[in-house]
Every structure is written in structure tokens, then in C-alpha cells.
């Protein structure tokens, strides 16, 4: 048995010990090979931002790349220019401010990309974004495993070493795929702006202390939505582990 197999068996046993898994449980759903931790790419954008449509397309180009979880957060602080962003919520701008503090940035701007909570790019130029993704993918620590129950309504987080200051588990609810919006006012007036994997809500599920734990997933999201679960350090906001619930296949 490989070291990876031994580790997986140990985590499964620990989860079973606290009721997260049973011997009859089906294999967990994963968004990619279990041996590779996905890189999370978060884009903060706005329909009223003149430089954002290009960044949106850059994120779209990597959204289906193996090993990448791409998420779009629309912010509302450009609404005063004449076009209220149709996807924006104040909590998304608040999330960007938390990253500003953790990454020790002087201010926030759009478009901005945060990769794995560890590094940021002002704008989203393809070469720089791809280099950041590759760098994060090449430096994968041993993350706590995230396993969705077969029913899709609960998620387990396995054991591991928590970061100093602790960690929290978050469910990011998003609409998978492409959406387009025709902007009628402001700097992007007359443009059809493309968005991929638009975040609709972020919910904190609870703390992760290094021991296996099971959380209930939000049950009131729309049927078209999907969810990404993040285990994220509270202090420096680096993403320790991430997984996307497997999307149901069309008949």
C-alpha cells in the first residue's frame, strides 16, 4: 500500500470513529484525483468596472482546467457609476477586505484575483494567472480531506494539523457555468459581460480544530446551484483544503 493509501485509510477510520463514515458508506465524491489538491482561484469583479470584462474571460479560460476551482465574486462598490451590479452582495466586498488585511495590501480594487488565499494579482492577465496556479499546484501540503456524503447534504472534514489561530469551514454556493449580462449604463454600457461560476452566497459552517468533524450543508439553495467547501485559516486566510461537490449528471 502506498503512503497515500495508508493515510486515506487512517482518515477514513478516524471519520468512522466519530460517525462521519460507516463501513457501508460509498466512496466519497471528489472533483478530481484524490492525490491532488485543487487550486482555488477567486475573482473579485464588477459589471461597472471597465477593466473587468477581460479578467472575467481570463477566469473563464481556466475554469475548466483540471485541478482548478474558479469562483466569481461580484462587488457593489462601483454601483455609483450608474449600473447596479446584478450579482453583487455587500458580503463579497467584505470578503475582499478580509483578504486585503491578510495579504497586507493598501487597498482593494477590481479586477483582483486571489489564488488559494495566499497570493493576489491585480487584474487577471493570463500568463501571470497561470504562473500563480502552477506555483500553488506545485507546493501542495498535506491538507485535511474533505468528503461529501453520498446524499450530498453533509460534508466531513478529516484530521490534520490546524494552523496557528485556528481554521474555519465555509460553504461557497455558486451557479456553475457561464452567465451573461447586458450592461445598459456606466463604463461598460452596451457590452454583454460574461461571468463564470458566479457566487451567490458564502456560509460559515463552523470551526475546524484538527479533529474529524461533520457539517450539514445548506439545504435552501436553488437546484441549479452547486457548492465548494473550503477549510481556511482564520489568521492569514490561506486555503488549507477545498473540494467541489460532484454535480449531478444529466439523464
Q: What is the pLDDT of residues 4-23, one digit of tens each?
A: 343 344 334 444 443 343 32
Report if residue 142 sits inside a domain: yes
Tell me how far apart the alpha carbons of residues 230 and 243 are, in angstroms, rounded to a whole number: 7
Residue 4 lies in a domain: no
Q: Under 8 Å CB-to-CB from 72, ≥6 apart: which residues?
A: 43, 45, 56, 59, 87, 174, 195, 196, 197, 198, 199
Residue 44 falls in which region: left (phi positive, over 0), alpha (psi -120 to 50) or beta? beta
- Computed over every residue of the chain, the mean pLDDT equals 86
Write the pLDDT tens digit of every residue in 55-112.
Answer: 999 999 999 999 999 999 999 999 999 999 999 999 999 999 999 999 999 999 999 9
Which helix (H) or strand (E) segment holds residue 218: the answer is none
- What pLDDT does 249 receive? 47
Model confidence over 200-221: pLDDT tens digits? 999 999 999 999 999 999 987 7
Query: What is the C-alpha to C-alpha distance for residues 159 and 182, in angstroms, rounded to an integer?
Result: 46
Q: Which of 24-28, 145-149, 242-246 shows the lowest per-residue confidence on average (mean pLDDT)?
A: 24-28
Rg, the chain, Cα only? 18
Pick from 19, 11, 22: which is nearest to 160 by CA? 11
pLDDT at 14: 41
Of the pLDDT bands very low, low, confident and very high (cuts 50, 70, 90), residue 151 is: confident
**Residue-wise pLDDT tens digits, 20-36:** 433 223 333 333 344 47
List the CATH number of the domain containing 164.
Answer: 3.40.30.10
Q: Strands 213-216, 154-157: parallel, antiparallel or unpaired by DSSP?
A: antiparallel
Question: Is residue 200 domain-resident?
Answer: yes
How far CA 153 is from CA of 77, 131, 214, 226, in Å, comes to 34, 35, 11, 11
Q: Average the pLDDT over 117-124 and give the result.
A: 91
Q: How many separate domains does the chain show?
A: 1
What is the C-alpha separation between 191 and 168, in angstroms, rounded? Answer: 39
For residue 246, what pLDDT is reported? 80
* Cβ contact 133:192 at 8 Å: no
For residue 92, how far is the Cα from the chain centroid?
13
Encode pLDDT of 168-177 as tens digits.
999 999 999 9
Distance CA 236, CA 249 (A): 37
Q: Looking at the domain assignment, is residue 175 inside a domain?
A: yes
Question: Edge-to-edge, what's the strand order for the sheet holding 68-74?
Answer: 119-122, 112-115, 39-45, 68-74, 192-208, 167-182, 226-233, 239-244
pTM of the predicted protein model: 0.84
16 is a domain residue: no
The predicted pLDDT at position 168 comes to: 98
Q: Is residue 3 part of a domain?
A: no
50, pLDDT greater than 60: yes
- pLDDT value of residue 251: 45
The predicted pLDDT at position 248 comes to 54
In the sheet with 146-148, reading across from the earlier edge strand, the strands are: 146-148, 154-157, 213-216
Residue 64 lies in a domain: yes
Q: Is residue 150 part of a domain?
A: yes
pLDDT surpassing 90 at residue 158? yes
Tell me the C-alpha to C-alpha distance, in Å, between residue 14 and each of 100, 140, 159, 220. Answer: 36, 22, 8, 30
- The domain containing residue 191 runs over which residues? 32-244
Amino acid at each position: 500500500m502506498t503512503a497515500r493509501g495508508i493515510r486515506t485509510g487512517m482518515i477514513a477510520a478516524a471519520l468512522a470513529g466519530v460517525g462521519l463514515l460507516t463501513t457501508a458508506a460509498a466512496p466519497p465524491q471528489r472533483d478530481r484525483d484524490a492525490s491532488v489538491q485543487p487550486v482555488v482561484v477567486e475573482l473579485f469583479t464588477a459589471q461597472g468596472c471597465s477593466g473587468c470584462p477581460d479578467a472575467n474571460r481570463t477566469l473563464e479560460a481556466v475554469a475548466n482546467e483540471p485541478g482548478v476551482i474558479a469562483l466569481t465574486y461580484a462587488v457593489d462598490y462601483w454601483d455609483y457609476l450608474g449600473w447596479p451590479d446584478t450579482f453583487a452582495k455587500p458580503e463579497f466586498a467584505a470578503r475582499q477586505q478580509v483578504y486585503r488585511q491578510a495579504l497586507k495590501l493598501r487597498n482593494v480594487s477590481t479586477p483582483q484575483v486571489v489564488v488559494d488565499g495566499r497570493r493576489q494579482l491585480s487584474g487577471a492577465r493570463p500568463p501571470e494567472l497561470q504562473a500563480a496556479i502552477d506555483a500553488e499546484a506545485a507546493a501542495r501540503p498535506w491538507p485535511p480531506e474533505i468528503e461529501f456524503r453520498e446524499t450530498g447534504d453533509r460534508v466531513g472534514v478529516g484530521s490534520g494539523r490546524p494552523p496557528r489561530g485556528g481554521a474555519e469551514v465555509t460553504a461557497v454556493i455558486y451557479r456553475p457555468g457561464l452567465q451573461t449580462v447586458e450592461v445598459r449604463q456606466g463604463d461598460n454600457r452596451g457590452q454583454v459581460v460574461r461571468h463564470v461560476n458566479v457566487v451567490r452566497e458564502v456560509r460559515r459552517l463552523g470551526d475546524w480544530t484538527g479533529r474529524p468533524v461533520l457539517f450539514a450543508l445548506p439545504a435552501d439553495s436553488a437546484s441549479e446551484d452547486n457548492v465548494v467547501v473550503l477549510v481556511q485559516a482564520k489568521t492569514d486566510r490561506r486555503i488549507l483544503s477545498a473540494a467541489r461537490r460532484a454535480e449531478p449528471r444529466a439523464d
